A and B are shown apart, each in its own frame.
Chain A
Amino acid sequence: DAKTTQPTSMDCAEGRAANLPCNHSTISGNEYVYWYRQIHSQGPQYIIHGLKNNETNEMASLIITEDRKSSTLILPHATLRDTAVYYCIVRVQESQGAQKLVFGQGTRLTINP
C-alpha cells in the first residue's frame, strides 16, 4: 500500500472550512484514498473515499489532484465536534481477500471557538 504524509496538527476556526491535506506521491492506479477520523476515546469513523474523481457526501468533500499524488479533505463548516484525529489511507479496493487498513499517525485537527 502507498504511504501517506499528513501534517501532524492543524487548527481551524469554528464555522470556517477545514482543509486537510494528504500527500500520496507513490499511489498506484488501482489504489483508493480513504479518510477516517477518531474523536477522542471513540472508535474510528469512516468519512469518505475516492479513486480519481472528487467526491462529496453529507460529512465532507474529497478533492483528488489530477495526478492523484495528493488529496484534500474539506469539512465545509467546521464545528467544535469536528475536533479529532483525521487519517488519510490509500488502499487497493478488492471485493475479496485481506482488506486491512493501515492507519498512520494522522492529523490532529483542533476546531477553535
Chain B
Amino acid sequence: NAGVMQNPRHLVRRRGQEARLRCSPMKGHSHVYWYRQLPEEGLKFMVYLQKENIIDESGMPKERFSAEFPKEGPSILRIQQVVRGDSAAYFCASSPPQTSGPRYFGAGTRLSVL
C-alpha cells in the first residue's frame, strides 16, 4: 500500500504563473488535508476535504488559492498568480473514514517562486 503521494516534489514558477500541486491519498482514504510550511516556520493548516466536498477551508487565503478533491483522481491545490511569498513546502495528508485528523503525510511539494 503506497503512502500519500505528492507531485511534483519540487516546482519552480515565475511570479504571476499558476501552480498546481497534486496529492494522491492512500488507498481507501477519503479525507485529505493540506498544510503549508513557510521557511523556518511551523505547519499551518489550510484546508480539509472529503471526496467532492470542502469541509473546512478556514486556513486558505481568500484569494488565489483553491482546492478540490474530485470523485476520481487526486486532490489538487491550485495557486493562481503566484507571488514570492507563496514559496513554501506544501504537505498533504490523508486518513481513512472514522479516523480523527490527518494521519499519514506525504513528502511535500516545495514551491519556489522566482
Q: Which residues of A contact B (CB under 8 A)?
A: 32, 34, 38, 41-46, 91-95, 97-106
Q: Which residues of B contact A (CB under 8 A)?
A: 4, 31, 33, 35, 42-45, 48, 55-56, 58-59, 89, 91, 93, 95, 98, 100-108
Pair A99/B91 contact, Cβ less than 8 Å: no
Question: Which residues of the partner chain A approach B93 to less than 8 Å between Cβ atoms?
Answer: 43-44
Determine the distance from Cα of A98 to Cα of B91 in the docked complex, in whole angstroms: 18
Pair A99/B48 contact, Cβ less than 8 Å: yes
Given contacts A43-B91, A91-B101, A99-B101, contact A106 B107 (CB under 8 A): no
Pair A98/B100 contact, Cβ less than 8 Å: no
Given contacts A44-B91, A105-B42, contact A99 B107 (CB under 8 A): no
Given contacts A98-B48, A103-B43, A106-B42, contact A91 B56 (CB under 8 A): no
Determine how close the nearest CB of chain A comes to the CB of B28; give it in whole angstroms: 16
**Looking across the interface, which residue of chain A has its beta carbon closest to that of B102?**
A101
Pair A32/B100 contact, Cβ less than 8 Å: yes
